Amino acid sequence: MKTILSNNKTPITFISVFLVAIVIMLLSSFGRAGRENNANEVDTLKGLKDFYKDYFPIGVAVAPNNLVGEQAEMIKKNFNSLTPENVMKPALIHPAENKYFWDDADKIVEFAQSNGMKVRGHTLCWHGQTGAWMFKDSIGKQVTKEVALARLKDHITQVVSRYKGKVYAWDVLNEAIVDDNDSSKVYRDSPWYKICGEEFIAKAFQWAHEADPKAVLFYNDYNTEVPVKRDKIYNMLKKLLKAGVPVNAIGLQGHWHTDDPSEQNLRDAIDKFSSLGLKVQVTEFDVTIYTSKTDTINIGFTPEREQKQIDFYKMAFKVLREKKDLITGVTFWNVSDRRSWLDRPNKKSYPLLFDENLKPKKAYWEVVKF
Protein backbone atom coordinates (compact mmCIF):
# COMPACT_ATOMS: atom_id res chain seq x y z
CA MET A 1 0.00 0.00 0.00
CA LYS A 2 2.79 2.39 1.02
CA THR A 3 4.52 1.76 -2.34
CA ILE A 4 1.38 2.43 -4.33
CA LEU A 5 0.75 5.71 -2.54
CA SER A 6 4.27 7.00 -2.98
CA ASN A 7 4.54 5.84 -6.57
CA ASN A 8 1.10 7.08 -7.82
CA LYS A 9 0.47 10.38 -6.03
CA THR A 10 -1.15 12.15 -8.97
CA PRO A 11 -4.05 9.75 -9.74
CA ILE A 12 -4.78 9.16 -6.01
CA THR A 13 -4.88 12.94 -5.32
CA PHE A 14 -7.10 13.48 -8.34
CA ILE A 15 -9.53 10.74 -7.22
CA SER A 16 -9.62 12.13 -3.65
CA VAL A 17 -10.39 15.66 -4.85
CA PHE A 18 -13.06 14.30 -7.16
CA LEU A 19 -14.69 12.27 -4.37
CA VAL A 20 -14.60 15.21 -1.93
CA ALA A 21 -16.23 17.45 -4.55
CA ILE A 22 -19.02 14.92 -5.10
CA VAL A 23 -19.63 14.60 -1.35
CA ILE A 24 -19.82 18.42 -0.98
CA MET A 25 -22.28 18.66 -3.89
CA LEU A 26 -24.47 15.93 -2.45
CA LEU A 27 -24.45 17.45 1.04
CA SER A 28 -25.34 20.89 -0.24
CA SER A 29 -28.20 19.57 -2.37
CA PHE A 30 -29.58 17.55 0.60
CA GLY A 31 -29.39 20.73 2.73
CA ARG A 32 -31.26 22.72 0.09
CA ALA A 33 -33.94 20.09 -0.27
CA GLY A 34 -34.44 20.04 3.51
CA ARG A 35 -34.83 23.78 3.65
CA GLU A 36 -37.17 23.87 0.67
CA ASN A 37 -39.42 21.26 2.30
CA ASN A 38 -39.52 23.20 5.48
CA ALA A 39 -39.56 26.78 4.60
CA ASN A 40 -39.09 27.79 1.02
CA GLU A 41 -35.51 28.84 1.62
CA VAL A 42 -36.01 30.67 4.93
CA ASP A 43 -32.90 31.04 7.01
CA THR A 44 -32.90 28.14 9.48
CA LEU A 45 -30.19 29.80 11.56
CA LYS A 46 -32.60 32.55 12.55
CA GLY A 47 -34.90 32.20 15.56
CA LEU A 48 -38.53 33.25 15.68
CA LYS A 49 -37.64 36.58 17.33
CA ASP A 50 -35.25 37.40 14.46
CA PHE A 51 -37.96 37.04 11.82
CA TYR A 52 -40.10 39.44 13.87
CA LYS A 53 -37.41 41.96 14.80
CA ASP A 54 -39.08 44.71 12.76
CA TYR A 55 -42.51 43.87 14.17
CA PHE A 56 -42.65 43.13 17.93
CA PRO A 57 -40.81 41.20 20.65
CA ILE A 58 -41.64 37.49 20.82
CA GLY A 59 -42.00 36.16 24.34
CA VAL A 60 -42.57 32.89 26.12
CA ALA A 61 -43.99 31.90 29.49
CA VAL A 62 -41.48 29.91 31.51
CA ALA A 63 -40.85 28.07 34.74
CA PRO A 64 -37.33 28.17 36.22
CA ASN A 65 -36.74 24.56 35.11
CA ASN A 66 -37.15 25.62 31.47
CA LEU A 67 -34.01 27.73 31.74
CA VAL A 68 -31.40 24.98 31.69
CA GLY A 69 -29.93 22.67 29.04
CA GLU A 70 -31.43 22.35 25.57
CA GLN A 71 -34.59 24.29 26.45
CA ALA A 72 -32.51 27.26 27.58
CA GLU A 73 -30.63 27.26 24.27
CA MET A 74 -33.85 26.98 22.29
CA ILE A 75 -35.41 29.83 24.31
CA LYS A 76 -32.37 32.05 23.73
CA LYS A 77 -32.54 31.38 20.00
CA ASN A 78 -36.25 32.05 19.55
CA PHE A 79 -37.50 34.50 22.16
CA ASN A 80 -36.54 37.94 23.44
CA SER A 81 -39.08 38.33 26.23
CA LEU A 82 -39.98 36.12 29.21
CA THR A 83 -43.09 35.90 31.35
CA PRO A 84 -42.97 33.80 34.53
CA GLU A 85 -45.79 31.30 34.00
CA ASN A 86 -46.55 30.88 37.71
CA VAL A 87 -43.80 32.00 40.05
CA MET A 88 -44.73 35.70 40.26
CA LYS A 89 -48.37 34.95 41.05
CA PRO A 90 -49.50 36.05 44.52
CA ALA A 91 -49.78 32.55 46.04
CA LEU A 92 -46.25 31.67 45.01
CA ILE A 93 -44.36 34.91 45.56
CA HIS A 94 -46.32 35.94 48.67
CA PRO A 95 -47.36 32.68 50.34
CA ALA A 96 -48.26 34.18 53.73
CA GLU A 97 -48.67 37.58 55.30
CA ASN A 98 -45.22 39.17 55.71
CA LYS A 99 -43.60 36.27 53.88
CA TYR A 100 -42.28 36.64 50.35
CA PHE A 101 -40.52 33.97 48.30
CA TRP A 102 -38.37 35.59 45.63
CA ASP A 103 -35.93 32.87 44.54
CA ASP A 104 -37.84 31.45 41.55
CA ALA A 105 -38.89 34.82 40.17
CA ASP A 106 -35.34 36.14 40.64
CA LYS A 107 -33.97 33.23 38.58
CA ILE A 108 -36.18 34.12 35.63
CA VAL A 109 -35.37 37.82 35.84
CA GLU A 110 -31.63 37.09 36.08
CA PHE A 111 -31.75 34.73 33.08
CA ALA A 112 -33.55 37.39 31.06
CA GLN A 113 -31.07 40.07 32.06
CA SER A 114 -28.02 37.97 31.27
CA ASN A 115 -29.45 37.18 27.83
CA GLY A 116 -30.72 40.65 26.90
CA MET A 117 -34.40 39.72 27.15
CA LYS A 118 -37.37 41.73 28.40
CA VAL A 119 -39.56 40.53 31.28
CA ARG A 120 -43.34 40.86 31.60
CA GLY A 121 -44.52 40.49 35.18
CA HIS A 122 -47.54 38.24 35.68
CA THR A 123 -49.72 38.90 37.66
CA LEU A 124 -50.38 41.28 40.57
CA CYS A 125 -54.09 40.95 41.22
CA TRP A 126 -56.09 37.87 40.29
CA HIS A 127 -58.80 35.63 41.71
CA GLY A 128 -56.65 32.56 40.91
CA GLN A 129 -53.41 31.42 42.59
CA THR A 130 -53.83 33.88 45.45
CA GLY A 131 -53.32 32.58 48.99
CA ALA A 132 -56.57 32.14 50.94
CA TRP A 133 -54.83 34.03 53.78
CA MET A 134 -55.14 37.25 51.77
CA PHE A 135 -58.88 37.35 52.44
CA LYS A 136 -59.01 35.89 55.96
CA ASP A 137 -58.20 37.13 59.45
CA SER A 138 -56.44 35.15 62.19
CA ILE A 139 -59.63 33.26 63.10
CA GLY A 140 -60.55 32.50 59.49
CA LYS A 141 -63.18 35.23 59.13
CA GLN A 142 -63.37 37.27 55.93
CA VAL A 143 -61.39 40.51 56.27
CA THR A 144 -62.84 43.97 55.85
CA LYS A 145 -62.40 46.02 52.70
CA GLU A 146 -59.80 48.17 54.48
CA VAL A 147 -57.69 45.15 55.40
CA ALA A 148 -58.00 43.57 51.93
CA LEU A 149 -56.96 46.81 50.24
CA ALA A 150 -54.05 47.32 52.65
CA ARG A 151 -52.81 43.79 51.86
CA LEU A 152 -53.18 44.36 48.12
CA LYS A 153 -51.23 47.61 48.41
CA ASP A 154 -48.43 45.91 50.34
CA HIS A 155 -48.31 43.05 47.82
CA ILE A 156 -48.17 45.28 44.76
CA THR A 157 -45.69 47.72 46.28
CA GLN A 158 -43.27 45.02 47.43
CA VAL A 159 -43.34 42.99 44.22
CA VAL A 160 -43.19 45.89 41.75
CA SER A 161 -40.48 47.70 43.75
CA ARG A 162 -38.25 44.62 43.85
CA TYR A 163 -38.25 44.36 40.06
CA LYS A 164 -38.34 48.09 39.28
CA GLY A 165 -36.38 48.74 36.10
CA LYS A 166 -36.08 44.99 35.41
CA VAL A 167 -39.68 44.11 34.65
CA TYR A 168 -40.83 46.48 31.91
CA ALA A 169 -44.53 45.57 31.96
CA TRP A 170 -46.98 44.20 34.53
CA ASP A 171 -50.24 42.36 34.17
CA VAL A 172 -51.67 44.39 37.02
CA LEU A 173 -55.17 43.01 36.87
CA ASN A 174 -56.05 39.61 35.47
CA GLU A 175 -59.50 38.36 34.38
CA ALA A 176 -61.73 40.70 36.39
CA ILE A 177 -64.58 40.64 33.84
CA VAL A 178 -67.17 37.91 33.86
CA ASP A 179 -67.79 35.60 30.86
CA ASP A 180 -71.55 35.99 31.11
CA ASN A 181 -73.46 36.85 27.94
CA ASP A 182 -75.75 39.02 30.03
CA SER A 183 -74.26 42.46 29.40
CA SER A 184 -75.57 43.81 32.70
CA LYS A 185 -73.25 41.46 34.64
CA VAL A 186 -69.80 43.02 34.35
CA TYR A 187 -67.39 42.06 37.09
CA ARG A 188 -66.33 38.56 38.11
CA ASP A 189 -67.59 37.64 41.53
CA SER A 190 -64.04 37.21 42.87
CA PRO A 191 -63.03 37.60 46.52
CA TRP A 192 -61.55 40.99 45.57
CA TYR A 193 -64.82 42.18 44.09
CA LYS A 194 -66.97 40.70 46.85
CA ILE A 195 -64.93 42.37 49.57
CA CYS A 196 -63.93 45.64 47.89
CA GLY A 197 -66.42 46.33 45.09
CA GLU A 198 -64.93 48.05 42.04
CA GLU A 199 -62.52 50.12 44.09
CA PHE A 200 -59.64 47.63 44.07
CA ILE A 201 -59.29 47.96 40.30
CA ALA A 202 -58.23 51.61 40.10
CA LYS A 203 -56.20 51.27 43.28
CA ALA A 204 -54.23 48.30 41.91
CA PHE A 205 -53.11 50.34 38.90
CA GLN A 206 -52.31 53.40 41.04
CA TRP A 207 -50.14 51.41 43.47
CA ALA A 208 -48.28 49.67 40.63
CA HIS A 209 -47.63 53.05 39.01
CA GLU A 210 -46.38 54.55 42.26
CA ALA A 211 -43.96 51.64 42.74
CA ASP A 212 -42.55 51.88 39.20
CA PRO A 213 -43.73 54.91 37.23
CA LYS A 214 -42.01 53.67 34.05
CA ALA A 215 -43.61 50.21 33.98
CA VAL A 216 -46.27 49.59 31.32
CA LEU A 217 -49.44 48.55 33.12
CA PHE A 218 -51.80 45.99 31.60
CA TYR A 219 -55.29 44.73 32.02
CA ASN A 220 -55.07 41.07 30.90
CA ASP A 221 -57.94 38.73 29.99
CA TYR A 222 -59.13 35.88 27.77
CA ASN A 223 -62.11 35.81 25.35
CA THR A 224 -61.29 39.43 24.58
CA GLU A 225 -62.49 38.91 20.99
CA VAL A 226 -65.98 37.75 22.01
CA PRO A 227 -68.02 40.90 21.33
CA VAL A 228 -70.07 40.88 24.57
CA LYS A 229 -67.03 40.41 26.80
CA ARG A 230 -64.86 42.66 24.62
CA ASP A 231 -67.33 45.50 25.08
CA LYS A 232 -67.52 45.03 28.85
CA ILE A 233 -63.72 45.24 29.02
CA TYR A 234 -63.70 48.24 26.69
CA ASN A 235 -66.23 50.07 28.87
CA MET A 236 -64.30 49.33 32.05
CA LEU A 237 -61.04 50.56 30.51
CA LYS A 238 -62.69 53.67 29.11
CA LYS A 239 -64.07 54.51 32.55
CA LEU A 240 -60.67 53.95 34.18
CA LEU A 241 -58.90 56.15 31.63
CA LYS A 242 -61.49 58.90 32.05
CA ALA A 243 -60.84 58.83 35.79
CA GLY A 244 -57.09 59.22 35.15
CA VAL A 245 -56.17 55.70 36.24
CA PRO A 246 -52.70 54.73 34.89
CA VAL A 247 -53.67 51.79 32.70
CA ASN A 248 -51.51 51.72 29.56
CA ALA A 249 -52.21 48.54 27.67
CA ILE A 250 -54.38 45.47 27.22
CA GLY A 251 -53.29 41.86 27.06
CA LEU A 252 -55.33 39.62 24.80
CA GLN A 253 -54.38 36.32 26.37
CA GLY A 254 -54.87 34.45 23.10
CA HIS A 255 -55.85 31.01 24.41
CA TRP A 256 -57.41 30.30 21.08
CA HIS A 257 -58.47 27.22 19.18
CA THR A 258 -58.46 26.48 15.50
CA ASP A 259 -62.02 27.77 14.89
CA ASP A 260 -62.03 30.79 17.12
CA PRO A 261 -61.71 33.76 17.07
CA SER A 262 -62.58 34.66 13.51
CA GLU A 263 -60.22 36.99 11.66
CA GLN A 264 -62.85 39.73 11.82
CA ASN A 265 -63.33 39.41 15.58
CA LEU A 266 -59.57 39.48 16.11
CA ARG A 267 -59.20 42.61 13.99
CA ASP A 268 -62.17 44.30 15.68
CA ALA A 269 -60.84 43.60 19.17
CA ILE A 270 -57.39 45.04 18.40
CA ASP A 271 -58.91 48.11 16.74
CA LYS A 272 -61.44 48.72 19.48
CA PHE A 273 -58.96 48.55 22.36
CA SER A 274 -56.41 50.62 20.41
CA SER A 275 -59.00 53.32 19.85
CA LEU A 276 -58.70 54.05 23.58
CA GLY A 277 -55.00 54.84 23.04
CA LEU A 278 -53.95 51.57 24.68
CA LYS A 279 -51.15 49.39 23.36
CA VAL A 280 -52.09 45.79 22.67
CA GLN A 281 -50.17 42.55 23.25
CA VAL A 282 -51.02 38.91 22.82
CA THR A 283 -49.83 37.75 26.21
CA GLU A 284 -50.59 34.00 26.39
CA PHE A 285 -50.70 32.74 22.81
CA ASP A 286 -51.53 29.09 22.14
CA VAL A 287 -53.84 27.33 19.70
CA THR A 288 -55.18 24.02 20.92
CA ILE A 289 -56.07 21.46 18.25
CA TYR A 290 -59.32 20.77 20.09
CA THR A 291 -62.17 22.92 18.91
CA SER A 292 -64.10 23.29 22.12
CA LYS A 293 -63.91 22.46 25.80
CA THR A 294 -66.39 19.62 25.26
CA ASP A 295 -64.07 17.99 22.72
CA THR A 296 -62.84 15.47 25.25
CA ILE A 297 -61.62 12.57 23.12
CA ASN A 298 -57.86 12.33 22.69
CA ILE A 299 -57.83 12.59 18.92
CA GLY A 300 -54.14 13.31 18.60
CA PHE A 301 -52.24 15.50 16.17
CA THR A 302 -53.96 14.26 13.00
CA PRO A 303 -53.07 15.79 9.60
CA GLU A 304 -56.50 17.48 9.50
CA ARG A 305 -56.05 19.08 12.92
CA GLU A 306 -52.50 20.06 12.05
CA GLN A 307 -53.70 21.81 8.88
CA LYS A 308 -56.40 23.71 10.75
CA GLN A 309 -53.79 24.83 13.27
CA ILE A 310 -51.44 25.95 10.48
CA ASP A 311 -54.27 27.97 8.90
CA PHE A 312 -55.14 29.61 12.21
CA TYR A 313 -51.55 30.55 13.02
CA LYS A 314 -51.08 31.98 9.50
CA MET A 315 -54.22 34.07 9.82
CA ALA A 316 -53.42 35.37 13.31
CA PHE A 317 -49.83 36.34 12.52
CA LYS A 318 -50.89 38.02 9.27
CA VAL A 319 -53.29 40.20 11.27
CA LEU A 320 -50.68 40.91 13.96
CA ARG A 321 -48.06 41.89 11.38
CA GLU A 322 -50.50 44.17 9.61
CA LYS A 323 -51.27 45.86 12.91
CA LYS A 324 -47.67 46.05 14.10
CA ASP A 325 -48.01 49.73 15.00
CA LEU A 326 -50.60 48.81 17.62
CA ILE A 327 -49.00 45.59 18.87
CA THR A 328 -46.08 45.80 21.31
CA GLY A 329 -45.49 42.11 21.97
CA VAL A 330 -46.60 38.55 21.34
CA THR A 331 -45.91 35.95 24.03
CA PHE A 332 -46.46 32.19 23.81
CA TRP A 333 -47.85 30.36 26.82
CA ASN A 334 -45.25 27.59 27.29
CA VAL A 335 -42.16 26.67 25.34
CA SER A 336 -43.12 23.69 23.19
CA ASP A 337 -45.62 20.86 22.81
CA ARG A 338 -43.48 18.89 25.26
CA ARG A 339 -45.54 20.54 28.00
CA SER A 340 -48.55 22.82 27.83
CA TRP A 341 -50.82 23.89 30.68
CA LEU A 342 -53.65 22.57 28.46
CA ASP A 343 -52.41 18.97 28.51
CA ARG A 344 -54.36 16.43 30.51
CA PRO A 345 -53.51 12.78 31.19
CA ASN A 346 -54.07 11.03 27.83
CA LYS A 347 -55.07 14.25 26.09
CA LYS A 348 -52.38 16.41 24.57
CA SER A 349 -53.28 19.71 22.94
CA TYR A 350 -50.22 20.39 20.71
CA PRO A 351 -50.89 24.15 20.88
CA LEU A 352 -47.46 25.68 20.20
CA LEU A 353 -45.07 26.33 17.30
CA PHE A 354 -42.39 23.88 18.53
CA ASP A 355 -42.86 20.12 18.83
CA GLU A 356 -42.02 17.77 21.68
CA ASN A 357 -38.38 17.64 20.46
CA LEU A 358 -38.26 21.46 20.52
CA LYS A 359 -38.15 21.52 16.71
CA PRO A 360 -40.17 24.02 14.63
CA LYS A 361 -43.51 22.61 13.43
CA LYS A 362 -45.01 23.21 10.00
CA ALA A 363 -47.06 26.05 11.49
CA TYR A 364 -43.78 27.72 12.51
CA TRP A 365 -42.52 27.78 8.92
CA GLU A 366 -45.75 29.43 7.82
CA VAL A 367 -45.51 32.05 10.56
CA VAL A 368 -42.00 33.06 9.46
CA LYS A 369 -42.84 33.08 5.74
CA PHE A 370 -43.81 36.65 4.78
Q: Does 86 bind ligand G3I (CB under 6 A)?
A: yes
Binding of residue 253 to ligand G3I (CB under 6 A): yes
Considering the rule CB under 6 A, would residue 341 count as an interface residue with ligand G3I? yes
Residue 225 found at the interface with ligand G3I (CB under 6 A): no
* DSSP letters spanning 31-62: HHHHHHHHHTT--TTS-HHHHTTTT--EEEEE
Q: Per rule CB under 6 A, is residue 129 in the interface with ligand G3I?
A: yes
Q: Which is nearer to ligand G3I, 60 or 152 (CB)?
A: 60
CB closer to ligand G3I, 222 vs 317: 222
**Which candidate in 41, 198, 263, 284 is catalytic?**
284
Of positions 212, 225, 284, 366, contacts ligand G3I by CB under 6 A: 284
Near ligand G3I by CB under 6 A: residue from 31, 95, 128, 277: 128
Least distance from C-beta 255 to ligand G3I, angstroms? 6
Catalytic residue, chosen from 175, 199, 225, 306, is 175
Q: Interaction with ligand G3I in 165-204: which residues (CB under 6 A)?
A: 174
**Minimum Å distance from CB 174 to ligand G3I?**
6
Output 90 or 246, the one with its CB closest to ligand G3I. Answer: 90
Measured CA to CA, the distance from residue 350 to residue 330 in angstroms comes to 19
Nearest to 91 by CA among 146, 138, 155: 155
Distance from chain centroid for Cα 345: 23
Interstrand relation of 255-257 and 249-252 (parallel, antiparallel or unpaired): unpaired
CA gap 125, 179 in Å, rounded: 18
Closest approach of ligand G3I to the CB of residue 370, in Å: 28
Size of the site for ligand G3I (CB under 6 A): 8
179-208 CB burial, b ≥16 within 10 A, e <16: eeeeeeebbbebbbbebbeeebbbbbbbbb
Strand residue runs (E) in the chain:
58-62, 81-84, 118-125, 169-174, 216-221, 249-252, 255-257, 279-288, 327-332
In eight-state DSSP terms, residue 107 is H
CB of 324 to ligand G3I, least distance (A): 24
Helices (H) and strands (E) in the chain, counts: 13, 9
CA distance 92 to 111: 19
Query: How far is residue 105 from each of residues 78, 83, 130, 154, measured CA to CA in Å?
Result: 21, 10, 16, 18
Residue nearest to ligand G3I (CB): 341
**Does residue 284 carry a catalytic annotation?**
yes
Nearer to ligand G3I, 86 or 157 (CB): 86
The answer to whether residue 146 is catalytic is no
For ligand G3I, give the closer residue by CB, 81 or 253. Answer: 253
Q: Which of positions 66-85 make contact with ligand G3I (CB under 6 A)?
A: 85
Name which of 104 and 106 has its Cβ closer to ligand G3I: 104
- Catalytic residue list: 175, 284
Contacts with ligand G3I, residue ranges (CB under 6 A): 85-86, 128-129, 174, 253, 284, 341
